[in-house]
Amino acid sequence: MKKMVILTGAGMSAESGISTFRDSGGLWEQHRVEDVATIEGYIRNPQLVIDFYNERRKQLPTVKPCRGHELVAALEKNYDVTVVTQNVDDLHERAGSTNVIHLHGELMKVTSSISPNDPLQIQTLTPEHLEIHMGETAPDGSQLRPFIVWFGEAVPMIEKAAEEAMKADIFVVIGTSLNVYPAAGLVQFVAPEVPVFLIDPKDVPWTSSHRYTHIKKGASAGMEELLEDLGIEN
């Protein structure tokens, strides 16, 4: 079975109604990046950061996977699929994808403020318990914090994602501006002969020398066209 690696960004979740950070009207317009998405912001005002992610988490049960998420999951019938996502929501999993690498963390998980990437400290919240509060602690006794990779923090899953990219027979990029590194550099690990498809309605800055096919549509319509190109009925 051929290996397909799919890199997804905010444009995929936007079709489910999740606000993107960078677009007009996105979440950054209400909050400074430095305040809610850096370790310095968290140290400065942990209450603000915890409240911000509590609100985002409460949005999750109100949204559903879009057609694009469902078509990505359906590809597992035809390919060995690895999804590498910059998104922190759980929509790929809810759509049925079974092999998802989250580069920037997971909104439904919380962890230690001291050792955020220690598996023993990571807890998964439930739909009945979506909020954490000041004073709630991880097993190591530190304040629970969102299991999110903030700007300036190491991206622990990038090596695994790069290994998957190197094994790809087909590489697909959906709904990402390719502005955020190291995720944007993953295409550099794709073998030169491997076909690359870019699904995005906008022009995307492409810094790689790797040739690609640009499907200039949103995530769902673009996935439908990709499946058609691959000869797969959906």
Give me the mean pLDDT over the 209-225 stretch.
92
**Burial of 31 per CB tally in 10 Å (0-12, 13-18, 19+):** middle
Which of the pair, 229 or 20, is modelled with greater confidence? 229
pLDDT at site 30: 72
Active site residues: 104
For 41-53, give one letter per residue: b (16+ CB within 10 A) or e: bbeeeeeebbbbb
Whether residue 168 contacts residue 194, with contact meaning beta carbons closer than 8 Å, is answered with yes
User: From 3.40.50.1220, 3.40.50.620, 2.60.120.260, 3.90.1720.10, which CATH number describes the 1-18+67-104+155-234 domain?
Assistant: 3.40.50.1220
Name which CATH class applies to 19-62+107-148. Answer: alpha beta
Residues 5-49 have pLDDT tens digits of: 999 998 899 888 876 555 444 455 577 788 898 999 999 999 999
Residue ranges per structural domain of the chain: 1-18+67-104+155-234, 19-62+107-148
